[in-house]
Structure 1
Amino acid sequence: MYTNNAYLNNTTMDIKDKSKPLIVTSCGTYHLFTRPKLPTWRPRGRRDFQLLYIASGKAHFHFSQKEEIVTAGHIVLYRPKEPQKYEYYGEDQTEVYWVHFTGNDVTNILRYYGFTKGKHVYYCGKRLEYQNHFKTMIQELQMCREHYDEILEMHLREIFIMTHRHFQTSSKTGNSQIAEDMDSATLYFNEHYNQEINIEKYAQSHNMSTSWFIRNFKKYTGFTPLQYILSIRIYNAEALLKNNIYNITEVASIVGYDNPLYFSRTFKKLKGISPSEYRNSIES
């Protein structure tokens, strides 16, 4: 088993602190490989809030004496004084990240980000960003360097924001898996926008029909895939044109155009002025 944990003031006791709106008091991770079982049973709950993110495998939770198997990509939220009973099993290869937090405005903060009272399990998607935020929080709480408490709050709020975004985008498509597929597509397009991208091949490689992918991508982002890629190219071209480090031909090449004339025509069609006119307007 792998574990890495951090505690405020080096205490494992649950803390109730109303001095600030949101305070992270402890966080950590468990990853089971061979240990047969890791159970948790707190019949009276805790005084603080707890959020758990299942990164891989699955976990067994018990709510109102009923077992619920929670799989990767889900968040589980416990509020103060709620009974907590759950188990991780080695055979499931469970990897989980957790954080305890308190504060004088936590209830309102959770409501603002879509965590409704009475609900424990939320699907938020399988993304490495969640794990990265937890890992940073663990390190910050272990080191306790200057402003660490602010950084802890910032990363926890970003987890809330990412989760809320997933709630919102899932409601647009009506399906969490579709939202996750579209998130993956936008990430891929952002990383490869300056290369030649064949939309049909991309859809096929992800077991989607081209028409289905284009339809759901537009529903999710408001753009067709080609429009989305084009918008990224022009946005980055604008950033490069704001200084004189690169000439127009070099800017065109950097954002994915082999033909600088075609780049200039495309830029003017979208922005109303040519790249050189855009640069001159910035300089003047």
Structure 2
Amino acid sequence: MYINFGSINSRQAADGSCTAPLTVDSCGTCRLKKHASLPTITRYDENAYQLFYIAAGKAHFWFDDAEHVVTAGHMVLYRPQEERRYIYYLEDHPEVFWVYFSGSEAAAVLQAHEIPLDGHVFYSGIMPEYKNTFRRMIQELQLCQYAYRDYTAGLFQMMLVLVSRQRQERRSISGTTREQIEAAAAYFNENYTARINVDEYAESLHMSTAWFIRSFKQYVGLSPARYIQSLRIVNAQRLLERTKYSIGEVSEIVGYDNPLYFSRVFKKETGLSPAQYRKAERAGEQPSDPQEEDACTPNIDKNRNS
């Protein structure tokens, strides 16, 4: 299991500065690698919101005792005083980011960016900027450098702006086009290892290539080429983490004929070469300990996990 999170310095959180209008209390990410599942139920929190971003795969959440399967490209919002119950399954290949935030203006900030407060799940699109912003917030909360609380709050608001922009652009797409783009995304998910000719695919929809690319990017947040590339890299990460395939074999499996080109693309996307990524993941392997599993989210009620 891969986990990484940071939280506000406890001594600073206890001083008078905790009355800030918006505060990122903690932030983290979780990705299953060997454990079959990770169920979690957290206690009620009177003050904090919790926002999840499903970056890959899917996760299972409960609202009012009803289960909802949330797929990649969506966010989940839990409001204060709501029980947070969710489970990740290894077979779903989930990559999930989360953030706890609070403050006197937290609700107003969400409303300003048109984040729905009367529901729980909303579409956000799949954008590399989301993951990058979460990682920067995690790092700031771990390093606790000067003004890190203001900086993380700014990063969080910047991410909400991107979400709001993505939702606005999605509304401008007609129902028929939306269905075609969703079908295209599903097709790319099933066939990302093959050579996909975007021009030919657009022609099959009786669209111009330019219109298809523009509509796809508006709806998904990435161009078709970038979306296919992101699928290849995410699946390459899983293979590097969980198998002993060589770099060349991984390259071929995810659809790259040239291992050197694959390595360049992989490093550009992740910041590490495939070999460096595999080494770092194995060096950071988390122990199989229930208490370590609970570190994925703070305030776990261990007696209520199911």
TM-score by length of 1: 0.63
Q: What residue is the counterpart of 1:87 in the other structure?
A: 87
Identity of aligned residues (%): 35
Q: Report Cα offsets for 1:204-230 as digits up to 9, x if no partner.
A: 2667646354446677999xxxxxxxx
Which residue number in structure 2 is paired with residue 185 of structure 1? none
Q: Deviations over 1:33-77 (max 9, x none)?
A: 211111111353453011110111110001111100001111101
Q: Distance in 2 between matches of 1:75 and 1:81?
A: 19
Match of 2:129 in 1: 129
**Partner-residue secondary structure (3-state), 1:211:** coil
- 2:211 is the alignment partner of 1:211: no
Alpha carbons 1:24, 1:100 under 8 Å: kept: yes
Q: Aligned equivalents of 2:40 and 2:46: distance in 1?
A: 12
Tell me, in whole angstroms, the C-alpha distance in 1 between the residues paired with 2:212 and 2:72. Answer: 24
Q: Deviations over 1:143-193 (max 9, x none)?
A: 0112212221121111101110111011000438849x89xxxxxxxxxxx
Match of 1:63 in 2: 63
Q: Quote the Cα distance in structure 2 between the aligned partners of 1:218 and 1:5.
A: 35
Q: 1:91-113 deviations in whole A, cap 9, x for unaligned?
A: 21211001111111111110111
- Structure 1 match to 2:231: none
Change (3 A) 1:131 1:208: farther
Amino acid in structure 1 at the alignment position of 2:89 = Y
Q: Give 1:124 deviation, angstroms.
A: 0.8
Residue matched to 2:153: 153
Name the residue aligned to 1:141. 141
Tell which has more relative contact order, 1 or 2 (C-alpha 8 A, sep 6+). 2
The alignment status of 1:25 with 2:25, answered yes or no, reads yes
Q: How many residues align structurally?
A: 203
Q: Residues 42 and 66 (structure 1 numbering): CA distance in 2 closer, same or farther, change over 3 Å?
A: same
Q: State the partner residue of 1:49.
A: 49
After TM superposition, what 4+ stretches of structure 1 lie above 6 angstroms from structure 2?
217-222
Deviations 1:257-281 (A, max 9, x none): xxxxxxxxxxxxxxxxxxxxxxxxx
The residue type equivalent to 1:211 in the other structure is M
CA drift at 1:203: 3.0
Equivalent residues of 2:4, 2:28 under 8 A apart = yes
**Which residue identity lines up with residue 101 of structure 2 in the other structure?**
F
Secondary structure (helix, strand or coil) at the match of 1:173 reads coil
Q: CA deviation at 1:202?
A: 4.5
The 1:126/1:218 distance shift into structure 2, 3 A limit, reads closer
What amino acid does structure 2 have at the position aligned with 1:203? D
In the alignment, is the contact (CA less than 8 A) between 2:180 and 2:205 conserved in 1? no
Equivalent in the alignment of 1:40: 40
Maintained 8 Å contact 1:173/1:220: no
Residue identity in the other structure for 2:113: Y
Unaligned runs of 5+ in 1: 183-200, 223-284
- Mapped contact 1:170–1:176 kept (Cα < 8 A): no
Shift of 1:19: 1.9
Q: Which runs of 5+ in 2 are unaligned?
A: 186-196, 219-306
- CA radius of gyration, larger in: 1
8 Å Cα contact 1:45-1:84 kept in structure 2 = no
Of stretches 128-137 and 33-42 in structure 1, the one that deviates more from structure 2 is 33-42
Letter in 1 for 2:6: A
1:164 corresponds to? 164
Q: Give the aligned partner of residue 112 of structure 1.
A: 112
Check conservation: 1:45, 1:81, Cα contact below 8 A: yes
- With structure 2 as the length reference, what TM-score do the two structures score? 0.58
- Pick closer, same or farther for the CA change 1:40–1:140 going to 2, 3 Å: same
* SS across alignment from 1:141: helix
Distance (Å, rounded) in 2 between the aligned partners of 1:204 and 1:144: 51
Pairwise CA distance, 1:131: 0.6
Distance 2:179 2:139 in 1: 31
